[in-house]
Amino acid sequence: MKTTLKRISTTVFVLLLIASFTNCKAVQNANNKQKGAAIGVAGGALLGAIIGNNVGKGNSELGAVIGAAVGGGAGILVGNRMDKQAQKIEEEIPGAQVERIDDAIVVTFDENSGVYFDTEKYTINTASQATLNKLAGVFKEYPDTNILVVGHTDSSGPADYNMTLSKNRANAVTSNLMSKGLMASRFTTKWFGEEQPTNDNTTADGRAKNRRVNIAIVPNEKMINDAKAQSGEN
């Protein structure tokens, strides 16, 4: 699948976030175990890609860990480096949806694209293991990035159950990647249960696409500082 390059203005999304500071249950259940990860350079467009159709509905905490895109000459250098990483992911995992949004990469895995979970399960099965092995290899090749893992479910079953299921699945993916030697400080994990569908939950195909894990990859402080130094902006 060809990588989608999206240079979307973040202004509208950021305004929506500011205007909608609410007590969403998914936000209350956000994981704080890996606060060391600094998801701080990708904008509101990235937020929209991660959470689906409901941008601005109580996602202030998630928005708080996503800042503004890098500008100027440094931004061009960062963008080039992220383009290369996106292309590498696409080559290694051709079934995944890979998007370049602002300075970030968003990878979407649903039941048809590489990370699979059996019904009502959150253990990593053999097919998912192979995909995550490849993804971990890319993350090792590009160490100057941080990683946000976000879990979602369809609307089948009770909402509380789905929230826990999405939490367990997102944590399973994060733990699996860290077990391959990736530093815990690179990761932040979130989950939204059934609250952020991207497709119609009344159809089997839509539900399959809503049972997904998103992974957002953003440049860390070192990449940004190196780019500024190279461009003479320090």
Residue 83 forms part of a structural domain: yes
Question: What stretch of H or E contains 124?
Answer: none
| pLDDT one-digit tens code per residue, 178-233 | 999 999 999 989 899 998 888 899 998 888 888 888 888 888 888 888 888 988 87
Task: Write the DSSP string, 145-214.
Answer: EEEEEEE---S-S-HHHHHHHHHHHHHHHHHHHHTTT--GGGEEEEE-TTSS-SS-TTSHHHHHHHS-EE
Q: How confident is the model over 50-109, as pLDDT tens digits?
A: 655 444 444 444 554 455 567 788 888 988 999 999 999 999 988 888 888 878 888 888
- Domain hosting 146: range is 9-231
SS3 (DSSP) at 33: coil
Does any domain span residue 3? no
pTM as predicted: 0.75
Confidence of residue 1 (pLDDT cuts 50, 70, 90): very low
Q: Judge whether residue 25 has pLDDT over 50.
A: no
- Residue 117 in any domain: the answer is yes
Residue 77 included in any domain? yes
Asked whether residue 101 is assigned to any structural domain, the reply reads: yes
Sheet architecture: strand order including 213-219: 4-6, 97-101, 104-109, 213-219, 145-151, 187-191
Question: What is the CATH number for 189?
Answer: 3.30.1330.60
Structural domain includes residue 13 = yes
Domain assignment present for residue 35? The answer is yes
Burial of 11 (0-12, 13-18, 19+ CB in 10 A): exposed
Counted domains in the chain = 1
Give the count of alpha carbons within 13 A of 188, CB side only.
23
Give the CA distances from residue 1 to residues 119, 218, 223, in Å, rounded to whole numbers and listed in that order. 26, 21, 27
- Contact by Cβ (8 Å): 150, 51: yes
Question: pLDDT band at residue 44, thresholds of 50, 70 and 90?
Answer: low
- Residue 18 located in a structural domain: yes
